[in-house]
Amino acid sequence: MKDEYDFSAAARGKFFRKGTRLVPPVHLEPDVLAYLSDLAVTQGTSLNDLVNTLLKEDIERIDAAEQKDLP
């Protein structure tokens, strides 16, 4: 790295796009990744689709459990 950088010609917000949604990467533990990868192959689907399906099912279960807890 240099000791100093010249930002005199820099433009603030040059790459800012209002309303842009960032999709952060998700890192799975190796054993979880291996299991889900094998399951995706067995089901003939992509790992991405499988993980999204499983997470959506969990979200539905959580929401259903929370609804039961309401008076």
Give the confidence band of 55 by pLDDT, cuts at 50, 70, 90. very high
pTM score, whole prediction:
0.67
CA distance 47 to 58: 17
Q: What is the pLDDT of residues 5-45, one digit of tens each?
A: 999 999 999 999 999 998 899 999 999 999 999 999 999 99
Residue at token pair 């790992």: 47
